[in-house]
Amino acid sequence: MLHYDLVVLGMGSGNMLFGDELAHLRSAAVDPGRFGGTCLNRGCIPSKMLVVAADAVMDAREAARLGVHATVEPVEWRAVRDRVFGRIDPLHKAAVDYRRGSGVDVYTDAARFVAPKVLQVGSERIGAETIVVAVGSRPVIPDIPGLDTVPFHTSDTIMRIDEVPASLVVLGGGFIAAEFGHVLDAFGAEVTIIQHRPRLLMAEDEQVSARFTELAARRHRVLLDTEAVSVARTADGVAVTVRGPQGEQVVEAEAMLVSVGRRPNTDRLDAEAGGLELDCDGHIATDAACRTSVPGVWALGDVANHFQLKHRANAEVRLVRHNLLHPDDIRTLGTKGVPHAVFTHPQIASVGLTEQEARRRGIDYLVSVRDYGDAAYGWALEDTTSFVKLLADPADRTLLGAHIIGPQAATLIQPLIQAVTLGQSVDHVAQDALYIHPALTEVVEQALLAL
């Protein structure tokens, strides 16, 4: 059995762990897929490159409100797609070559635990003093009668299609549905979203979720409180039988996207054979330092946490690297101030408590809602639907949560993320910093001042 000082399973965020500080260790990298993981190859990065193109289409469609009458020539989908993946696809080989060139052994077979800190990788059995598990997650495939008999897409495949379908039915109402509904609608598909809950993006603040649902329904056919009963193949695509408030009906489309959630890849890893404790959702159980139930085994990213966010995984990589190098100075990473964004149309960003969560937990709060249209740049945009919503502690005046729906939301929220994370008072953030006039950041200032 080959023995290493360090083995890293999963070359998404796990690939970032290697570097000069750990170069003295005999190390191995294991990944049967593409280096860069979900984010680079089938997630965050290519989807946002497509979103930018979709946003350009929407800017033209909506320019009439500004007195600018624009048209969009047919979108060259293959040119857009090939630009995206023509940049991304060569990175895998370059990353493998770089790792091997730096002295890291690279295994491209799947790994599974056969005992604590012992792995079977293809025909090789390897062990290590330290193992970092970062094998990520994959789309959930629901148990719907007939689904296994029809062609369908997940977020893993939808971005590489050869043609935009004339019509698309989307199962699910979360961020993947919101983003790809936006992209494919902009590129010409008629989109139907089937959501089993009363609103889209139910994890967002209820006011944001309600506004987005209202706006999405202007672009797509949105079926709420509706479940897919069965799926069948048709001559032109798929037919989904659904049951909702109007009873049972059939939704037909040329293509189908299944986006009902993601699951950690622990089952493929046989994590329990490695002595690793799992939580009720199948994630590897870790403490705030990313340590698992087996000393010397660490876990990070989607396989261990429930955030499913690349920036959280990146923070965990930095944490694990420090803890490996400084075992007498173990650091931890809390869950306060973990932000996220949904790159749909309009954009959405959030950090901290939602209003419904504050109510559920019995937390006292002040609330402020400010429309983009109250700020000068909002006038320039002729914006009538976007807003900033803030929640603050009435006692210590700290910011409990921030939620934005509208243009540039993922950028506008950054000072509010810092306020939540650093415990700054709303008075300090509102009054002790200048906000450029007439930039869109003034709507954030106004929401803070209203508190």
Catalytic residue annotation? 437
Rounded CA separation 197/185 (Å): 22
DSSP lists the bridge partners of residue 237 as none
CA-CA-CA-CA torsion for 258, 260, 262, 267, nearest 10 degrees? -80
Query: Which two three-digit tokens encode residue 272?
Result: 């329990």
Helices (H), 114-205: 175-186
**CA 261 to the chain's CA centroid:** 11
Would you say how long the chain is, in residues? 451
Rounded CA separation 350/227 (Å): 28
How far, CA to CA in Å, does 145 sit from each of 153, 241, 250, 321? 16, 10, 14, 46
How far, CA to CA in Å, does 414 sit from each of 337, 402, 410, 420? 11, 10, 7, 10
Rounded CA separation 141/138 (Å): 9
Give 162: exposed, middle or buried? Use CB within 10 Å, 0-12, 13-18, 19+.
exposed
The dihedral through the CA atoms of 75, 76, 77, 81 has a sign that is negative
Rounded CA separation 368/241 (Å): 42
CB 300 within 8 A of CB 136: no
CB 424 within 8 A of CB 398: yes
First to last CA, the chain: 63
b/e code 76-97 from CB counts within 10 Å (16+ = b):
ebeebbeebeeebeebbeebbe
Q: Are strands 2-9 and 27-30 parallel, antiparallel or unpaired?
A: parallel
How far, CA to CA in Å, does 91 sit from each of 52, 86, 88, 198, 301? 21, 10, 6, 41, 21
Query: Which two three-digit tokens encode residue 62?
Result: 């909506």
What are the backbone dihedrals phi and psi of residue 99, each rounded to the nearest 5 degrees, phi first?
-65, -45
